[in-house]
Structure 1
Amino acid sequence: MKILLLEDDYNYKESIKELLLSLGYEVDDFLSGDEALEAAFHNSYDLLLLDIRVPGIDGYGIVKEVRSYGLKVPVIFITSLTDVNNLSLGYELGCNDYIRKPFSLKELKYRVEEAIRSYHFHSVSPQVQLPCGFIFEINSGILRHEDHEIALSDKERRVIGLLVKNLDTFMDVDTIREYAWEGKEVGDNDIRMVIKKIRSKTSKEFIQSQRGVGYKIAKE
């Protein structure tokens, strides 16, 4: 399970992160809204824990962008704002819960566990229709063709996932490297080999390429 944590108070952030790690969650933590929003679009998370008043785009703006993109990941606001108008705005934009500062780590633990449990209990993996008759399940990362699951490596699954999240938009090799290899140093040839393997399992037309620009999956 992976959680995005946005909190510009360093001490709060570190306390929350330490708790989440002790519970077995992976945590990507950020101090600014702009970095958090970029991460939300390029990774798959089970929960977004967001402070509202942060540098860059604020928590409200992040939820608005995430929901407009169609992402259903649960969102919990961590905030000292208690005015009913602020609470109403958050729920209208699509947040799932609020935790008011100051709070106990025990309360945070229960709210995080409940949000993730409810999300996975009720969610159905959305399916995206892709070229050549393929279907990709967003949450599970499963690629199917005529009801048959296509065996994929982790890197192949992550590359397809990135391209599906950005349909009909060329992704450059640096973006693919950052997403699929999590920033590790790999050469362009390694990326090309993964693309080649995906095409061998699908079709040559499944992933389009443009020299010097990148790769994309076109809209069906």
Structure 2
Amino acid sequence: MKSKILLLEDDLNLSETVSDYFEEQGFDVVCVYDGDEAISSIYEHNFDLLLLDVNVPNKSGFDVLKEVRNQNKNTPAIFITSLNSMDSLEEGFSCGCDDYIRKPFELKELLIRVQTILKREFSNKNELINITEKITFNSISNELRDNGVEVKLNLKELKLLKLFLQHPNELLVHDRIYDYVWDYDEEYSDNSLRTYIKNLRKILGKDKIVSLKKLGYRFNQE
């Protein structure tokens, strides 16, 4: 499953250029054109990264990210903006961004910055994570492969796997899993979580995911 990016950019030509380029690189890009639309989309979907222009209608990119961070959403974010003062740079990082790139920029440079941030989500800094001798996970493309053959996961199984890979050998309590895997307006289900765990164990091996009764789960990564 492709990494999903939100692109907030009110310049239609630039929005199309950036989205076309990133889709050619294997990303899924959702384009929005004003701050209110961005907020709605962020709450409706789960993005791997936010690309935010600053001077956009209704709500600035700065205000969008402030609101997102106030809701305890830690989705990585990059500001893409024509603002070039040190004050703007300082404000961008104080809002909680992970990176800040000034226009005009090279698409390749933006791609490198995006890939670098997506790798940072994982304790393993390599793009390709070896789960077992045969099973690998690509932290950029979100592809799980067994002996080179892609294994299809549904969205919640993918999110659960990413959460485990980001926190190997760590107890993840049920509430933390529910908050990460389920959207804010979805009702989580104990039975559904057990089903997703069961499906991942079939792929990765029973011993990779340990159930700690009434507490949560731990992913064993050697």
Report the equivalent of 2:34.
32
- Per the TM alignment, residue 4 of structure 1 is displaced from its structure 2 partner at its CA by 0.4
Q: Report SS of the residue matched to 1:65.
A: helix
CA deviation map 1:126-167 (0-9, x unaligned): 96755xxxx63444x3xxxxxxxxxxxxxxxxxxx13xx24x
1:136 lines up with 2:177 in the alignment: yes
- Which amino acid counterpart does residue 91 of structure 2 have in structure 1? L
1:79 lines up with 2:120 in the alignment: no
Report the RMSD for the aligned CA atoms in angstroms.
2.6
Report the equivalent of 1:9.
11
Pick one of 44, 53, 56 that aligns with 2:55.
Answer: 53
- Which amino acid counterpart does residue 96 of structure 1 have in structure 2? D
Q: Report SS of the residue matched to 1:136.
A: helix
1:89 lines up with 2:91 in the alignment: yes
Report the equivalent of 2:117.
115
| Structure 2 Cα separation of the partners of residues 34 and 23 of structure 1 | 28
Kept in 2: contact 1:37–1:62 (CA 8 A): yes
Size of the aligned set, in residue pairs, is: 148
- Per the TM alignment, residue 93 of structure 1 is displaced from its structure 2 partner at its CA by 1.2
Q: Report SS of the residue matched to 2:121.
A: helix
Report the equivalent of 2:43.
41
Q: Report SS of the residue matched to 1:14.
A: helix
Quick one: structure 1 residues 124 and 85, their matched pair in 2 at CA, closer, same or farther if it must change by over 3 Å? farther
Unaligned 5+ residue runs, structure 1? 142-160, 177-194, 203-220
% identical aligned pairs:
36
Unaligned 5+ residue runs, structure 2? 125-165, 194-222
- Which amino acid counterpart does residue 51 of structure 1 have in structure 2? D
Q: TM-score normalised to the size of structure 2?
A: 0.60
Report the equivalent of 1:158.
none
CA deviation map 1:52-90 (0-9, x unaligned): 000111101111011111111111000010100111011
| Structure 2 Cα separation of the partners of residues 108 and 98 of structure 1 | 10
Quick one: structure 1 residues 91 and 22, their matched pair in 2 at CA, closer, same or farther if it must change by over 3 Å? same
Kept in 2: contact 1:127–1:137 (CA 8 A): no
Quick one: structure 1 residues 99 and 137, their matched pair in 2 at CA, closer, same or farther if it must change by over 3 Å? same
- Per the TM alignment, residue 200 of structure 1 is displaced from its structure 2 partner at its CA by 6.8
